[in-house]
Amino acid sequence: MLTINKNKSGLKIIIVGCGKVGSTLVEQLTQEGHDITLIDKDPARIQAITNAYDAMGILGNGATYSVQKEAGIDDADLLIAVTDSDELNLLCCTVAKRVGKCVTIARVHTPEYSKEAKYLKDKLGLEMIINPEYECAKVISRILYLPTAEEVSSFAHGQVEMVKIRLPEGNKLDGKRVMDIGHDIMANIVFCGVERDGQVFIPSGQFILKEGDLISFVASRYDTKRFLGKIGFKTGQVKDTLIVGGGKGSFYLADMLIKSGIEVRIFEKIKERCEVLSVLLPKAIIINDDGAGEDALKEAGLETVDAFVPLTGIDEENVLLSLHAKQVSNAKVVTRISRNNFKGILDNMDLGSVVYPKYITSDAIIAYVRARQNTKDSNIETLYKMFDSKAEAIEFKVESESDLTDTALMNLKLKDNLLIAFINRHGEIIFPGGHDEIHVGDSVMVVTTHTGFNDIRDILR
């Protein structure tokens, strides 16, 4: 508990709205040592969060001048508006822009505004617009393109993917040391993290793999498929998908899947919403039914479908549906957990791939915040939390010379539990060995179990 906060100088951040995303942000940003002031209209929520985290709460409407003044907008570095209402978020940011000189981030999640996100961003002068539902749909769609993976995320503008797989029983990698895996299999693949019994390892060459391990590796999409094929995984994308619930997330997901030729069936219980969806997604099959009934699911072909994604607004229902699907079919199941209250139980259940929208959003914001905080030589391009935030993958842009640059990696004194996964040199991806060097202008991805890196030089001892 007595961890020394190596807080350099925290940013002053105002968060408007403390719902799911807001409170996750408070949790993670306070951990990183920032000064958080939060604004909400509900005193009970403020009370709960300020009791649990080291943040100051202010009661009121975050879009009003006086409340923003009280929250200290004058010397705030950043304002993040994540209330339920898009309009309020945009108004908060617009007011903040006029009153203070801070950077603003707004959550905008209705499709109508979302389509115009870029326009809104430019015209209103916002620095960032985030759309949790959309980001979440993107993550799910990536999994469905490669259903044997537990999780897929992309780096270096999509050139490199980080893929998480679970090593099944009797796989040929079971019991092998990483260095003993033949070069024909391992070509252009870097293992960057292994989770076993809740512990995360950054594997060295000596590391012995075991069945049941969750392995994360980075590779290009082509190499990923080749590698997975060699070790006996299927590599095709799913052909059809069954989605339960017709909310915003479902719409974004269905839209993406249909565009890449995947057949989509959506359950939605409200008739009016079905009609809206059928107009928005003419190629999808919209079924006006609860989706929670065994028979209805069977009728819709759950037993034979390739993928099943419950996206109802209720976590418990999603979990039940996933468990059911796992029982009756071989479909790839993706479960969305919005609240994440009982992590320990969820981890022990067979829910297929699990996605947490609130983390997806907060990761994006935290990457941005860390990049803001850093004034000097390098910048964070992407930050991705792996294994429930037990490890981080960070893509740094190296913008000036330092002790790191132009030195062979084997001569650098790197911290423990850290790995340089790849170097992106003007679009060319290098999976580095000891003799490779980092040059100015490169993007470097680092995987580490340390937290709070915001400069490439943090990797040095």
- Which residues of the chain form contacts with another protein (CB under 8 A)? 1-5, 10, 12, 30, 35-37, 43, 50-56, 59, 348
Rounded Cα distance between 353 and 195, Å, is 15
Compute the least distance from the CB of residue 49 to another protein, in Å.
8
Beta carbon nearer to another protein, 35 or 86: 35
Compute the least distance from the CB of residue 3 to another protein, in Å.
5
Compute the least distance from the CB of residue 353 to another protein, in Å.
21
Beta carbon nearer to another protein, 48 or 214: 48
Beta carbon nearer to another protein, 47 or 330: 47
Beta carbon nearer to another protein, 33 or 168: 33
Compute the least distance from the CB of residue 440 to another protein, in Å.
36
Beta carbon nearer to another protein, 53 or 207: 53
Compute the least distance from the CB of residue 400 to another protein, in Å.
32
Compute the least distance from the CB of residue 419 to another protein, in Å.
27
Rounded Cα distance between 140 and 152, Å, is 8
Beta carbon nearer to another protein, 117 or 349: 349
Phi and psi for 147 in degrees, rounded to 5?
-65, -15
Beta carbon nearer to another protein, 1 or 279: 1
Compute the least distance from the CB of residue 35 to another protein, in Å.
4
Compute the least distance from the CB of residue 346 to another protein, in Å.
13
Beta carbon nearer to another protein, 12 or 107: 12
